[in-house]
Amino acid sequence: MTAKKGFIRRTKQREVILDVLRSTRSHPTADWVYQEVRKEMPNVSLGTIYRNLKTLTEMGQALELSYGSTYSRFDGNPENHYHFVCEECGQVTDLDLPVQKQLEEDVSDMIDGQVSYHRLEFYGVCRDCLSLAEATDHEAE
């Protein structure tokens, strides 16, 4: 037992990845991060992106948001907060709603288990996509 656990080294790659993640509010996909990081480190590998996004998430410096059965999006703001997802364009936006932390206690009592976090997400159509739909309707007339 007590296997000697490896420590975490600081690497240039992870640093750039975190910078990129923090530079946007777009909740980017791994691939978007990859493209951005390549501008600074052309030889970085996609595997490294995935590896580090995972590491950062585990270190509590990022959040991973998974949607649909397709790709994950990442968030450079590790504080819990809620999101709105546009089902038309896929855009993910932060919501300025109070985080109901006490719900976690309610639930942990309810299930007699341990709750470590919760996610609240709203789905629908964003303003931009709504007005786009309107415009198209007018055209059709």
Q: Applying CB under 8 A, does 124 fall inside the site for a copy of itself?
A: yes
What six digits make up the tokens of 80? 């819990």
* Nearby residues of 88 by Cβ (< 8 Å), 6 or more positions away: 125, 126, 129
Residue 86 interacts, among Mn ion, Zn ion, DNA, none and using kind-specific CB cut-offs from 5 to 8 Å, with Zn ion
* Nearby residues of 61 by Cβ (< 8 Å), 6 or more positions away: 18, 76, 78
Interatomic CA distance for residues 39 and 141, integer angstroms: 46
Residues between 18 and 37 with contacts to DNA, criterion CB under 7 A: 29-31
What six digits make up the tokens of 122? 């709203």
Interatomic CA distance for residues 30 and 39, integer angstroms: 15
CB 124 within 8 A of CB 83: no
| Chosen residue from 30, 53, 74, 75 binding Mn ion by CB under 5 A | 75
Residue 35 interacts, among DNA, Mn ion, a copy of itself, none and using kind-specific CB cut-offs from 5 to 8 Å, with none
Stretch that binds DNA, among 2-10, 94-102, 104-112, 118-126 (CB under 7 A): 2-10
Give contact residues for DNA (rule: CB under 7 A): 6-14, 29-31, 41, 43-48, 50-52, 54-55, 66, 69-72
Give contact residues for a copy of itself (rule: CB under 8 A): 1, 64, 66-69, 71-72, 84, 86-87, 93, 95-97, 103-104, 106-108, 110-127, 129-130, 140
